A and B are shown apart, each in its own frame.
Chain A
Amino acid sequence: MSIKISEAPYKERIGKGIDNDFMRQAVSSAQGRFRNGRLTQAEELGNWEDWRQLGEEIRSHTLENIDYYLYQLSEEVEKRGGNVFFAETAEEANTYIENVVKKKNAKKVVKTKSMVTEEIGLNKTLEEIGAEVVESDLGEWILQLDEDPPSHIVTPALHKNRQQIKNTFQDKKGYDKSDTPEELASFAREQLRQDFLTADVGITGCNFAIAESGSVTLVTNEGNAEMVTSLPDTQISVMGMERLVPTWEDMEVLVSLLTRAAVGQKLTSYITTITGTRLEEEIDGPDDYHLVIVDNGRSKILGTEFQSALHCIRCAACINVCPVYRHVGGHAYNSIYPGPIGAVLTPLLDGYEDHKELPYASSLCAACTEACPVKIPLHEQLIRHREIIVEEEKKSPASEKIMMKGFAQWASNPAAYKLSTKVARSALKPWTKEEYVENGPGPLKGWTDVRDFPAPGKQSFRSWWNKRQKGGEA
């Protein structure tokens, strides 16, 4: 998998999302709970705006000096016996990791949840050289067994119900118990425990790398990151280059923002902070440690008006308040990064060509900007994307171009305009039900696929005006 998750066109993906009742219900209730959790935590602190301000200042300072802090990070990792590989592209990162796995003659690789490894398509690379790759986050494991992409960056299997999960476990792992979440999770515990114990290599993502000590912080609830970093002798951490903080003190503030904004917890069950290889006479932890720092398009965003998009700490608070995400779900964005931050980041990382619809998947209500714990002006960046697409790239969605072109020609010709406003009502009659057009033809289809359109009035404004002037009934 790469950043894109399918080849299906935008409208088709949206249609699928809207038709999926379970998914929409699940997303809606998850959004409500996540949002309440965040608001409760914010209220309890009392000075949430100060926390956001601090978060923004830490992120700005770090990104402004990213070369300095990455240099320091790599020096410190080396001091603690680790190797550091700077990868400009996904291919470079994959090749390096592939070589480590080959060199170790590794049969089994066990992973923590990591968006950047999804982004670079690491699992596929490793499977191609014959390694068994096991995702150990419960949600990711479910999706891996079902070969399905994530639909949310915090709860990746949000779109699946327990019956589907039970069926997947039955088909792929011979599960024979009920569909209660407890029994399903207990089955995953048994199955994955064996994988942790027999894996040759552990691969983790990285929530925050700490430059001053060469440490990597992982924020989890299930305990799988502890397993992955404690048991295999070889460990590889993969980080997007911006997932960085100067010191432990900064890490602490951002973790406090992340766990509150993401899941409404003061801290998650595990904040695991690992530094280099295990020390002399220690038993748990790797004796061979690698940190892979990935650019993959991020550096192009530095120094641009979108730089603050790199401040993102992947909490999904913007996703959890987005009314568009609520209705179409994560897969409609065709990116492993959905929701408002996905609509901002995906075109920056992967180009406008395949993702030009994303900045339009927003009502610009600004709920995302207000929710962001590090104050990224998300809706303003979406507007900038639209401007760039329309003005510079001339890549606005085809339907919009045709409609706008047609509208210009039609509106500039008084006779045509007059005629069509007159006939619109009767012309649309076949599609009209109780004064609403439900399944409109031609250019109206794009609109009425997702919402109804009021049927044209019995008379046009012009004829109403003329009649009124003549003293007729209004």
Chain B
Amino acid sequence: MAIQNRDSFLSNLAANLGRPQRRESVSRPEYSVQPQHEVFKDYSAEELIGVLKEHCKVIHTDFVRTDKSDLQATLKRVLDGYEAASIIASNDKRNQEYGLDKAYEEFSKEVDVHIWDASLGKENQVIAERTDVGISFSDITLAESGTVALMTNKDNGRSISLMPKCYVAIIPKETIVPRMTQAAGKIHQDNEKGIAPPSSVCFVTGPSNSADIEMNLIVGVHGPVKVTYIVVD
């Protein structure tokens, strides 16, 4: 029984609302205001990168900009800065396009490299837990809040951005949009077209943090303690 108690529950709600139960023909009204579409409207790609870079300061995140040809060297510097002895990365199709497959091969001469491998099952989580740095691509990047939207799939586990102490997001320049409005809009439109959302869409904004002890900001609680964004032209 996948759905239980629904009929009595919903008919009670309809009764309290003083009308018959609604099962169809409800559509969202045209809302009287839509301020979300005004934010950074007409900003150029360069201006949005400027917004993202600026906001990284607020969210305790290092911002680096490079191009495809220099990505390997840039990533190496970031990993050295984190004194990484081990890395875990998604098995992303874009690895090849961005030369990361070769980079990881090169890095593996000095550090432990694990590329997410669905056939290994839970072993991936065990590896992620003891690894220093996780690396994956941002699918949609929100300039306003400095957020990377991570859509997980069998080659890109949630653990990569979550379990290691440090996380590096590779941000293709064309993934940058003004704010969450555009990301949610895309997922909504896909859903209307019959493309259901991934099992997890995680909007990650910098390192984990907490203000639960005397309202002091503590950076790095359960998720990563340090985060770098690498924007790639």
Contacts and interface: CB of A to CB of B under 8 A. Distances in A.
Nearest to B31: A57
A142 B213 CA distance: 9
Nearest to B35: A50
A142 B218 CA distance: 15
B81 interface: no
Interface residues of A, number: 109
A85 B5 CA distance: 7
Interface string B202-219: 111111111111111010
Interface stretch (A7-15, A298-306, A339-347, A427-435): A298-306
Say which size band chain B's interface belongs to.
35 or more
A98 interface: no
Contacts of A92: 5
A224 interface: yes
B180 interface: yes
Contacts of B1: 83
Interface centre among A58, A69, A185, A283 (most CB of B within 10 A): A283
A285 B16 contact: no
B2 A82 contact: yes
B154 A267 contact: no
B9 A295 contact: yes
Contacts of B2: 78, 82-84
Interface in A301-339: 302-303
A215 interface: yes
Nearest to B27: A246
B213 A165 contact: yes
B159 A284 contact: yes
Nearest to B23: A71
B198 interface: yes
A267 B210 contact: no
A284 B191 contact: no
A227 B162 contact: yes
Interface in A124-179: 136-139, 142, 155-158, 161-162, 165
B175 interface: no
Interface string A268-296: 11111111111111111100000001010
A184 B213 contact: yes
Contacts of B154: 279-283
Interface string B117-158: 010011011000100000000000010111100001110011
A67 B202 contact: no
Interface string B155-180: 00111001000000000000000011
A302 B188 contact: no
A452 interface: no
A74 B9 CA distance: 12
Interface in B7-38: 8-14, 16-18, 21-24, 26, 28-29, 31-36, 38
Nearest to A263: B211
Nearest to A277: B199
B35 A276 contact: no
Contacts of A186: 220
B73 interface: no
Contacts of B124: 283
Interface of B: 1-6, 8-14, 16-18, 21-24, 26, 28-29, 31-36, 38-39, 55, 59, 118, 121-122, 124-125, 129, 142, 144-147, 152-154, 157-159, 162, 179-181, 183-185, 187-188, 191-192, 196-216, 218, 220-224
5 contacts: A47-B35, A82-B2, A212-B192, A266-B55, A283-B154
